[in-house]
Each structure stands twice: as C-alpha cells, then as structure tokens.
Structure 1
Amino acid sequence: MTRLLCATDLLPKSENAVERAGMLAQRLGAELSLLHVVSPGASDRVLEESLQIAIDQLRARARPPQWGHGPVPSVMVRAGNPARLVCDAIEKERADLLILGPQQRRDVLGGISGTFVEKVLSARKCPLLLVQGNADASYRRIMFALDVSPEAALAVRAAESLVVTADTQATVVHACAPPLRGMVPSANADMAARAAEQEAAASIHELLRRESDDADRYEVHVEEGHPIPAILRAVEIHQPQLLVMGTRAVGRMRRALLGSVASQLLKEIAACDMLVVPRDALAASNVAQDQRVNASSA
C-alpha cells in the first residue's frame, strides 16, 4: 500500500497541503500520516505545553468534522530540528511521498545552509509535493519539465503513480540550447535550430514511450534557451496546476554555490504546485514497498 506523509506547521497557509494530502490518500487508497514538529522551547515546561497544544490541534484536524477524506490519518508530534525529524519520519514510515505547504523564501544568510525544502530533498528519501494552490479538485493540468536524464524518467514514473489521472492534460516542456552564434553560418542558423528542436522533441517522445503507461497523453513543447527562463515562460503560458520535474539533489554546499534548475524554480514559482523527484527517490520507494510486503507476509 502507498504511504503518504504530510508535514504541517498547523498554520492557515498549510491547510491546502493537508487537504491535498487527504484527497490523494483517498484516491490512491493510501495510508496517510500527519506530522508536526515543535521547536524546542526556552524551558521544559514551555516545550511540554507547546507539544500538548500541537497534539490537540493535530488530532482535531484529523477527525471529522474537520476531516472529510475517508479514513482518519495517523498523527505525530515531535520536538527538535524540523528537517532532520521529517527525514527520520520518511524513513520510519517508509513514505512514498512527502507533502508540504508553502515555504519561506531563501534569505541571504540561508544561502549556504539551504532552505528546509532543499535539506529534505538532499536526503533523497522520496518525492516531494509542494502545495501552493487550492486543493479543491484533482490535478487536471500538469506540466512536466523534462530533459532526457534518468531523473526525468523517474519523474514521469513517479507522477503517473501518484498524481496523474485519466482526466489529466499533460504537457511537457523541454529547453533546447540554440546553436552557438558564430559556430554556424548565419544562413544556416535557423535550419540548425529547427534540426536541434526536432532532435530534442524526438528524444523526449522516446523517453515518454519508454517510461509512460500512455505516452500519447503528452503534448511536447521544445523551448529555445536556458531551462529556467524557458520553464518560467511555459508556466506563464500554459498555467498548469502542477509542475513536475526531477532533480539530482546534490549536496547543499554545491547547490548553494552553483544552483540547480529545481532549487531555482522552487524559489521562483508560486503560481502552481510542484512535484520534485530526487534521483534515488523511486529506488528508496521500491525498497520500502518490498519491506512492507515482507513484513505483511511474515
């Protein structure tokens, strides 16, 4: 059985994430756990009071009438470092998907240490769904930002197992760097650019035929230019409810110095939800599934 984990700060901004988690759990027939992490207080008494308040709030949120998505989820309240405890919970619960609400934008001092989302992704435990929009219906318009890497293949498989439905309108955007100016005679530049776009589109179609259960559902668009502005333009034009991408999820120091497409888009996009699939996520999910099967048959 699929297992979902939703980490919430119990603030209004995270309500859509809790709702989306409930909707997904009900549609997938999945087990859902709600997690809240309390920061250590100035004293043991303050911490104990904060923990009890959080437990009462989370239990109330997970029961009718506040809960309206089928089976009641399990609830967990922990005290300590949020990123570490969320990663621990992913491993302990053998979660197949982590669901979060909107996060604070990175500040200057956070550039090296990384945001909470980046720290969780760096652990490469499971796919991350960042919920920023209303959770009032299943995702009908999904955009995939794909190259031809193994991470892109994982993103297609993860999305189809978790969020894609029969009604989904799926669009793929692929950024294609134009031929270097001066390297190609100007008279042939347009022809070279068209040839590069056709080759890129063919590669994406081949990836979809290999990885998707229904490759014909995807409409492929090749955009000229660097991936980040190309994807941002495509999001503005197509207005997806969900953007899906893979990421290598390299170490935080390297990403802080060099950046990555996924981490940059996490900062730039607030108009739609985002599903980010790190390199090892599906392998970890398969291991977790095997462990659950073995445990149930023991």
Structure 2
Amino acid sequence: MHDTLPAAILVATDMSPRGDRALARAVDLAAAFGARLAVLHVVDEDLPASLRAALIPQAERLLAEQVAALPAAAEVAWTVTVMAGVDVAAIVEQAEQRGAGLVVLGMHREHPFRGIVFGTTAERVMRSGHCPVLVAKGAYRGPYRHILAAVDDSRAAGRALAAAARCWPQATVQAVHVDDVPAPLDGLAGTAFAAEPRPAWPAHLAPALADVEAATGRRPALLVQPGDDVADALRALADRFAADLVAVGSAAGNRPMRALLGGTAERILDLAPCDVLVVPPG
C-alpha cells in the first residue's frame, strides 16, 4: 500500500453502528482508489446450525441493502460474504484470498476486553497477510484532510508515512517524532498543521523521509515532540491539529508501535480521537 494504491479492500463489519462507520469509509476508499471491495460479516460458528442457517441469508440481504444505499457504492465493484467462523481467522483468510491491500475495521469500544480482542485481530491480519489495517473510530465525514504520522528510524514508520501521503494526496500530512530529548515545537501556535517543514530532518529519520519522498515526490513537515509517552503525545497533537487520521508503523521494536499487543499500540488505538492507520513492516 505504501508503493501503490490498494487494488482490493476488505471491510469486516459486525453490523453495529461501529461497523457502519467502517463500511461507509471502506466504500468511499474503494471508489476513490478504484479498488474492488469485499464486505465481510462473520456469524459465530458456535451457534446452533439451524440458527446459523437462518442468520446467514438474512445478514447477506441486509448488508447488500446497506452497501447499495451508500452514495459511492454505484462506483464500486463490491461483494458481500457472510460466513460462519471465528472472526479473527475469517478476516485473515478472506484478506489473503481476495488479495486485499487494506483491511478496514470498526473500533469495538463496548467490548469489556476490546484492547485484547481488537489487538489480536489487527495483529493476526498484519502478521498473516502483511496488510495495513484502517480502524474507523469516528463517523464518516468525507476524505481525510489532516493526517498525523508517527515516525522513528524504522522502515515501518516510513511505510506508514508514505502510505498516508500517497493514498490521501489532498490531505496535509504532519510527521511527528516523539523524542525524550526536549526540542522546539514548530507550528504549535494554532490549530492548523505546520505550513513549513523543519530546516533538516534528524539523520536517524532518513529512512522514513526517503520512503515518503520516493512515494510522493515531496517532503512533509516534521514536528519533534519531547516526551516518552507516544500514545499520549499523539492524542494531544491529534486534538490540537484537528487530525482526522493517525498513521503508525507496526514493526516489533518500533517505538510508536513496539508490538501490536503491547500497551503502546492498544493505547494509541484507544486514545486517538480519530481514525488510525496501522501499516506493517512489509
């Protein structure tokens, strides 16, 4: 996804309002990217067979009606699949079978173990399919306009930054490096993104910069945020910049996302006031 736009997108929905947000976002992205769209709903395989048999065709009909009612659906080649299984395994399987370059999921805020469940889902999708995951947390309000991308010295962070810049060229992309060493904060005076980049990126951020310049032909603004809590820093900056998307890399050992089941990643997903794009190392 960091090199090209995804040719296929998989959106998994539980048919709740949270799933509806993911569905609306996925349809819009498929139309914008010219991508095929696979809509997936998983029925619990532990339900009695007679109940599964009744639920599957009903869910297929309702989902098809819901997709068709979305304005951008007429521009998209889409399919609906309802299957019995375990949601994590089914998402991974369907993403691989359909060659998905992006998986879109809703945020399961009401689940008492949402961090564990959601983290496991996203981790297995990326580990098994090397596929970026977009978490639709808020109501759909059109294309992304302000993107905050966490960068460090890893290639995964560069891939996330490049993917965000390539997929949403109309958006302003602000690169952020959270550093333990205090540094001046450029562009924090107002609510808009910094208009100009820092004079020079630190040398250890060269891989991330090379990735985004190769993908987009331009250099994003860089802001160095002092601190040691990445999730909290991103939350505060996303609020200040009115960001509608936070993009992060997911490599093990990557400072913004040390491990998808680790506390930092779960806290980013939980604390971010907007959608979150998680890009694996490749």
Identity %: 26
Q: Given the superposition, is the C-alpha separation of residues 42 and 86 from structure 1 closer, same or farther in structure 2, using an over 3 Å criterion?
A: closer
Structure 2 equivalent of residue 129 of structure 1: 134
Question: Using the alignment, how far apart are the partners of 2:18 and 2:114 within structure 1?
Answer: 24
Gaps in structure 2 of 5+ consecutive residues = 1-5, 185-197, 254-258
2:163 maps to 1:168:
no
Three-state SS of the structure 1 residue aligned to 2:221 is: strand
2:209 maps to 1:208:
yes
Q: Which has the higher helix share?
A: 1
Structure 1 segment 1-298 matched on structure 2, within 5 A: 2-63=7-68, 65-66=69-70, 68-69=72-73, 70-104=75-109, 107=112, 111=116, 115-162=120-167, 164-165=168-169, 167-178=170-181, 201=202, 203-204=204-205, 207-212=208-213, 213-216=216-219, 218-226=220-228, 227-248=230-251, 256=261, 259=262, 261-269=264-272, 271-280=273-282
Q: Is the 8 A contact 2:13 2:40 kept in 1?
A: yes
Q: Given the superposition, is the C-alpha separation of residues 88 and 249 from structure 1 closer, same or farther in structure 2, using an over 3 Å criterion?
A: farther
RMSD between aligned residues: 2.9
Following superposition, the deviation at residue 33 of structure 1 comes to 0.8
Amino acid at match of 1:219: A
Q: Is the 8 A contact 1:37 1:82 kept in 2?
A: yes
Amino acid at match of 1:277: V
Amino acid at match of 2:280: P
Q: Given the superposition, is the C-alpha separation of residues 110 and 15 from structure 1 closer, same or farther in structure 2, using an over 3 Å criterion?
A: closer
Amino acid at match of 2:34: G
Q: Given the superposition, is the C-alpha separation of residues 229 and 152 from structure 1 closer, same or farther in structure 2, using an over 3 Å criterion?
A: same
Following superposition, the deviation at residue 239 of structure 1 comes to 2.0
Amino acid at match of 2:279: V
Q: Give TM-score, length-normalised by structure 2.
A: 0.79
Gaps in structure 1 of 5+ consecutive residues = 179-189, 281-298
Q: Is the 8 A contact 1:205 1:215 kept in 2?
A: no
Q: Tell me the matched-pair count.
A: 255
Question: 1:251-272 deviations in whole A, cap 9, x for unaligned?
Answer: xxx765xx25333311222x20
Following superposition, the deviation at residue 99 of structure 1 comes to 0.5
Structure 2 equivalent of residue 289 of structure 1: none
Q: Given the superposition, is the C-alpha separation of residues 275 and 103 from structure 1 closer, same or farther in structure 2, using an over 3 Å criterion?
A: same
Question: Using the alignment, how far apart are the partners of 1:262 and 1:229 within structure 2?
Answer: 11
Question: Using the alignment, how far apart are the partners of 1:73 and 1:171 within structure 2?
Answer: 33
Q: Is the 8 A contact 1:141 1:240 kept in 2?
A: yes
